């Protein structure tokens, strides 16, 4: 049975659910309850099903809308630099109820007289504790490590934060336990050994590069752990890249289907019509008043030409119109954002051009299914997939200085081959680093910044490009910018389609006007037009001068621009009530 269904049953089990309450307020479970429940393998399975609620599901596909990848109708506070210190204890991510449930399980599961079940579900619980703490460290930095259930009078309730080293070493021990004990079975909707291996690789890459670029000692062992885990997953041959539909369709097809399979997808959240649905993902991509997701122009610029050359090496790349910029590009571009001939899944005729439902004009179509699911969707959501392991291996080895061309050929170049793109050549990339990509990550910071290794600068920039394109809208971009110490990237303009001025535009190449741009009055718009832009309401930014409210330029949905405080914004603040309850806790720097 799938974990989503089992999780519903678990909520009623002996009050085991966290119920949105902080662990400090919850009564201790007594030994009688533990003895009553922890008796069979099925008890362990049911107990661990409750932990699946810790995983992010729809949040994964909304997170990029709080980064430089996607601009929603209402800019997110972390892009605007408007995050504030929360007041209520347990708010703002500083909640620990899920951890208490995991620790309670780990203190009692040994009572079951089934060694295989204990190994399996003990590993699952350790996976979730590693996942829980990884998310906490990413958000807050140093946090207190709790490896036990705390009683009301336990002095550790009020201990200070433990060191990042202690917490992350504990996380790695937990994930190693999970890998060693969870069976090597392909279970699409349940945590498997393979899920644990990929989580270890993800943790190792994030922690290693965060330490490297934030000048925290000890980054090498984490990058080495990322390499080891990614190598282990690749060597297992349990997964491969999904290729159904060929170079022009496979990437889109991977996400745009009701039910996932275990070809490339390692873990997916299961949704079923009439049982469990989600309504915000496709709606955010299609509704003018709900989300109106638009892809950032610098993301569009990052897609290579079909021959592998750089789009941004073109002398006129800043002023190329919509129709022209789609010609001869990486096929993933037209499978991620609506191309001139965009056709909705399940339909045969191209959709009329519509710019009303997108802030930038570049519509998000990755994971956009048939029109029936735009309001109430029931397609599965990918949470872990094999392609990430390929990207992790390449990046970790590049950051360690051990990458070679053979490594690229079995990682990055497999991703490029799926869409029939030329392979990445390491020597050529390092001989001619992309200055456009480099400008994304060279920002003014407080104090000396760790530069990208000179010897591998070109290939590291290309791996970052590949990661941004391949994992777009899968919830990785914010974390990537944070670990690369590239928060100032958020202050670069987030703009959309370029228009050289008012007038009619053919977006489909059929010689008929689809879009009409005007200033104040739409009189004279051709009858064929399906989208109109009033530049007095949807202003333009001149890409050459940077001036806003221009008569020509890119759609400018965020004219005030992003703000990022280098000294403060790499971490989140701790709630005021939690600081007041525990005198040993200290607020993260510069949060007031």
DSSP 5-25: HHHHHHTTSTT-S-TT--GGG
Boundary-marking domain end, from 483, 515, 539: 483
Same domain for 457 and 389: yes
Q: What is the pLDDT along the chain (592 residues), one digit of tens a residue?
A: 344 434 433 433 333 333 333 433 444 444 436 666 899 999 999 999 999 999 999 999 999 999 999 999 999 999 999 999 999 999 999 999 999 999 999 999 999 999 999 999 999 999 999 999 999 999 999 999 999 999 988 999 999 999 999 999 999 999 999 999 999 999 999 999 999 999 999 999 999 999 999 999 999 999 999 999 999 999 999 999 999 999 999 999 999 999 999 999 999 999 999 899 998 899 999 999 999 999 999 999 999 999 999 999 999 999 999 999 999 999 999 999 999 999 999 999 999 999 999 999 999 999 999 999 998 899 999 999 999 999 999 999 999 999 999 999 999 999 999 999 999 999 999 999 999 999 998 754 445 678 899 999 999 999 999 999 999 999 999 999 999 999 999 999 999 999 999 999 999 999 999 999 999 999 999 999 999 999 999 999 999 999 999 999 999 999 999 999 999 999 999 999 999 999 999 999 999 8
Query: Is 456 in the same domain as 514?
Result: no
User: Is the residue at 420 inside a domain?
Assistant: yes
User: Are 444 and 404 in a shared domain?
Assistant: yes
* Same domain assignment for residues 426 and 473: yes
For residue 255, give its domain range: 186-266+382-483
Q: Is residue 368 in some structural domain?
A: no
The answer to whether residues 475 and 506 belong to one domain is no
Q: Does 238 map to a domain?
A: yes
Q: Is residue 458 part of a domain?
A: yes
- Distance between CA 99 and CA 96 in Å, rounded? 5
- Compute how many other C-beta atoms are within 10 angstroms of the C-beta atom of residue 344: 18
Question: Does 222 map to a domain?
Answer: yes
With contact defined as beta carbons under 8 Å apart, do 23 and 104 qualify? no
Q: How many CA atoms lie within 13 A of 494 on its CB side?
A: 31
Domain boundary (425, 453, 483) is at 483
Q: Which residues contact 30 (CB under 8 A, 6 or more apart)?
A: none
Residues 529 and 392 in one domain: no
Do 538 and 408 sit in the same domain of this protein?
Answer: no
Of 453, 483, 513, which residue sits at a domain end? 483
Q: Could you tell me the CATH number of the domain that includes residue 404?
A: 1.25.40.390
**Are 209 and 246 within one domain?**
yes
Q: Residues 485-501, buried b or exposed e (16+ Cβ, 10 A)?
A: bbbbbbbebbbbbbbee
**412 found inside a domain:** yes
Check if the beta carbon of residue 405 is closer than 8 Å to that of residue 283: no
Decide: helix, strand or coil at residue 71.
strand
Are residues 408 and 542 both part of a single domain? no
Cβ-based burial of 1 (10 A; exposed 0-12, middle 13-18, buried ≥19): exposed
C-alpha neighbours within 13 Å on the C-beta side of residue 344: 14
> Residue 448: which residues within 8 A CB-CB, separation 6 or more?
none
Whether residues 479 and 508 fall in one domain: no
Same domain membership, residue 517 and residue 470: no
Q: How far is CA 122 from CA 116, 175, 402, in A?
A: 10, 11, 35
Residues sharing a CB contact under 8 Å with residue 489, sequence separation 6 or more, in sequence order: 68, 440, 441, 443, 481
Same domain, residue pair 395 and 456: yes
Q: Could you give the number of structural domains in the chain? A: 2
């Amino acid at each position: 049975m799938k974990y989503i269904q089992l999780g519903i049953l678990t909520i009623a089990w002996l009050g085991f659910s966290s119920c949105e309450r902080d662990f400090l307020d919850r009564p201790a479970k007594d030994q009688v309850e533990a003895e009553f429940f922890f008796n069979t393998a099925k008890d362990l399975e049911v107990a661990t099903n409750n932990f699946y609620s810790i995983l992010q599901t729809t949040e994964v596909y909304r997170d990029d809308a709080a980064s430089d990848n996607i601009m929603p109708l209402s800019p997110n506070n972390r892009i605007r630099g408007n995050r504030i210190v929360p007041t209520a204890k347990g708010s703002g991510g500083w909640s620990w109820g899920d951890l208490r449930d995991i620790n309670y399980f780990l203190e009692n599961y040994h009572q079951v007289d089934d060694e295989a079940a204990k190994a399996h579900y003990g590993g699952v619980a350790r996976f979730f504790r590693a996942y829980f703490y990884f998310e906490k460290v990413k958000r807050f930095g140093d946090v207190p490590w709790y490896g036990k259930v705390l009683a009301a009078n336990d002095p550790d309730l009020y201990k200070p934060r433990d060191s990042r080293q202690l917490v992350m070493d504990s996380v790695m021990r937990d994930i190693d336990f999970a890998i060693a004990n969870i069976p090597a079975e392909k279970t699409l909707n349940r945590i498997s050994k393979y899920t644990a291996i990929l989580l270890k690789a993800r943790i190792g890459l994030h922690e290693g590069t965060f330490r490297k670029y934030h000048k925290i000692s000890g980054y090498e062992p984490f990058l080495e752990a990322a390499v080891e885990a990614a190598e282990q997953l690749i060597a297992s041959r349990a997964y491969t890249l999904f290729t159904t539909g060929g170079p022009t369709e496979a990437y889109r097809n991977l996400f745009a289907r009701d039910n996932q399979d275990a070809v490339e997808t390692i873990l997916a959240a299961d949704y079923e019509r009439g049982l469990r649905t989600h309504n915000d993902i496709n709606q955010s991509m299609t509704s003018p008043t709900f989300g109106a997701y638009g892809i950032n122009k610098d993301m569009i610029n990052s897609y290579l030409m079909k021959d592998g050359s750089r789009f941004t090496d073109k002398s006129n790349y800043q002023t190329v119109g919509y129709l022209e910029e789609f010609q001869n590009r990486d096929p993933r571009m037209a499978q991620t954002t609506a191309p001139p001939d965009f056709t909705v899944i399940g339909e045969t005729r191209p959709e009329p051009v519509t710019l009303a439902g997108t802030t930038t004009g570049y519509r998000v179509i990755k994971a956009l299914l048939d029109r029936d699911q735009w309001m109430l969707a029931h397609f599965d959501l990918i949470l872990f997939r094999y392609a990430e392991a390929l990207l992790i291996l390449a990046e970790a080895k590049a950051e360690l200085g051990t990458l070679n061309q053979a490594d690229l050929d079995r990682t990055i170049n497999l991703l490029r081959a799926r869409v029939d793109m030329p392979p990445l050549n390491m020597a050529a990339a390092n001989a001619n680093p992309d200055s456009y990509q480099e400008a994304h990550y060279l920002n003014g910071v407080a104090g000396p910044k760790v530069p990208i290794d000179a010897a591998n600068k070109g290939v590291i920039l290309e791996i970052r490009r590949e990661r941004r394109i391949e994992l777009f809208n899968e919830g990785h971009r914010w974390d990537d910018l944070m670990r690369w110490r590239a928060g100032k990237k958020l202050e670069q303009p987030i703009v959309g389609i370029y228009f050289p001025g008012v007038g009619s535009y053919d977006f489909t190449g059929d010689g008929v006007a689809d879009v009409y741009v005007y200033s104040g009055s739409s009189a004279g718009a051709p009858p064929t037009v399906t989208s109109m832009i009033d530049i007095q309401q949807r202003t333009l930014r001149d890409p050459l001068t940077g001036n806003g409210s221009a008569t020509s330029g890119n759609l400018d949905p965020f004219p005030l621009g992003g703000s990022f405080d280098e000294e403060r914004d790499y971490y989140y603040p701790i709630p005021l009530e939690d600081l007041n309850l525990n005198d040993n806790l200290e607020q993260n720097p510069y949060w007031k």
